[in-house]
Amino acid sequence: MFAAREAGVDGSLEQMKAICYCIRNRARAGWYDGSWFLVMQHAQEHSAHFPEDVLIDPSHRAFQRLTRDVDEIFFGDKAGVWGGDDAGPDLSQTLEVQKYWCFLNRPLTTWFKDNIIADKTNHPNTAQMGLMMFYE
């Protein structure tokens, strides 16, 4: 639900998955002692944007596909949903270490500007998906 809200009304399946990968990376990096529950519960505290009221439509196909794939994102291996190494680089490989994201077409929080974007040494911008930027 958090990934769908963060991606927004027009968010793509790939954007929602990318957000999930970043949250997965936080847990793997030991945030909140690696507790998946706590990492997800505190995800909004590290968001680049203020929360928006986004109505999640359970019949939206991208959201349905995300709910189908979410276990593979958090717990699966790379050969699962995405076709393995023959499929070329996928989101799992591209977003192996990124923990933050932002959309260039949305206002940023002061916290995100000061602590993530301004700290290029600790949080380099290492990937991009259209107007979506990713930081370590």
Identify the pLDDT of residue 80: 44
Element holding 101 (H helix, E strand): strand 100-103
Using the structure block, give the residue that is written with the tokens 């190494």: 85
Give the model's confidence band at 51: pLDDT under 50 very low, under 70 low, under 90 confident, else very high: confident
Q: Characterize the bridge pairing of strands 100-103 and 132-135.
A: antiparallel
Identify the pLDDT of residue 77: 57
What is the pLDDT averaged over residues 38-51?
94
pTM of the model: 0.88
Q: Characterize the bridge pairing of strands 125-129 and 132-135.
A: antiparallel
Total residues found in the chain within this entry? 136
DSSP-assigned letter for residue 96: S
**For 54-96, what is each residue's pLDDT tens digit?**
888 889 899 999 999 998 888 875 444 444 444 446 888 899 9
**For 87-129, what is each residue's pLDDT tens digit?**
446 888 899 999 999 999 999 999 999 999 999 999 999 999 9
β partners of residue 133: 102, 128
Say how many domains are in the chain.
Answer: 1
Paired tokens of 36: 């998946």
Identify the pLDDT of residue 87: 45
Q: Which domain holds residue 130?
A: 2-135
